[in-house]
Amino acid sequence: MDHWDADGAFSFCSNGSRAALALQGAPGPEFVDALSSGETIRLRRFTASPDLQIGIRMPEGPGFCLTTVPTQLMEPAAFGFVGNPQLVIEVADVDSVDLPAYAPPLRHHPAFREGTNVNILQPMGRGLARIRSWERGVEGETLCCGTGCAVAAAWMAKRTGLSSWRLQPMGADPVDVSVEIEEDGSWRELWLSGRVRILATFVPDASLGLEAATK
């Protein structure tokens, strides 16, 4: 499986992977997929349509972990690589942040050699938090960044000792994250699960040559 961002860059998308398991004819209910970018993920279909719940186990092993934030910030923050770089910053109120002004300087900060996604997180109670995400490649706020949610929950698990979190992104559907986190910031069994809804069916025009490309 390959993932391409809106700007044409090659990357990893956890929600894109979860959506793939909703396609008619997709394998399941569980399978392991080795991405061409080198990561290995596991996908699991929990329930059938119309309330389709699909989970993804994030890449794990050397290099996939929480690390020190490479620049000084005023707010509590964490940085992690989960197939793409994620900066997570705790704020008092996600709604009060002007994300289009706040995120781009961090997304392009020279301390992040490959750039980074920027996520702002507001803990709401035991195992609950709200999150907003500014994604590189899209260069804008998205309704849900699955990899950002996963890193945010891993950070909260390390801080609190609570291994299961429900995060509410800007989209309507929450996501659930569970993780086994180590003191050094590495993780095992980092699962993100949530609802997948089929919104439309797209039939590509023959002029795109996609049929020939997939044979």
Domains and CATH numbers, the chain: 3-214 (3.10.310.10)
pLDDT of the residue at 215 = 46
Q: Are 116 and 85 contacting, i.e. CB atoms less than 8 angstroms apart? A: yes
Q: How far apart are CA 43 and CA 92, in angstroms?
A: 34
User: Which CB contacts under 8 angstroms, 24+ apart, belong to 100-104?
Assistant: 100/134, 100/140, 100/141, 103/134, 103/141, 104/134, 104/139
* For residue 24, pLDDT beyond 80: no
pLDDT of the residue at 66 = 98
Q: How far apart are CA 101 and CA 93, in angstroms?
A: 16
pLDDT confidence tier of residue 37, bands split at 50, 70 and 90: low
pLDDT of the residue at 10 = 81
Q: How far apart are CA 23 and CA 121, in angstroms?
A: 31
With a pLDDT cut of 70, the percent of the chain lying above it is 94
pLDDT of the residue at 211 = 64
Determine whether 150 is exposed, middle or buried from the number of CB atoms within 10 Å of its CB (0-12, 13-18, 19+): buried
The radius of gyration computed from the CA coordinates of the chain, to the nearest angstrom, equals 17
pLDDT confidence tier of residue 48, bands split at 50, 70 and 90: low
Mean pLDDT of the chain: 91
Strands (E), 46-127: 52-57, 65-67, 77-81, 85-90, 117-125
Token output for 160: 């609190």
DSSP structural state of residue 206: G
pLDDT of the residue at 212 = 53
**Tally of CA atoms within 13 A in the half-sphere of 137 that contains its CB:** 19
Mean pLDDT on 187-191: 97
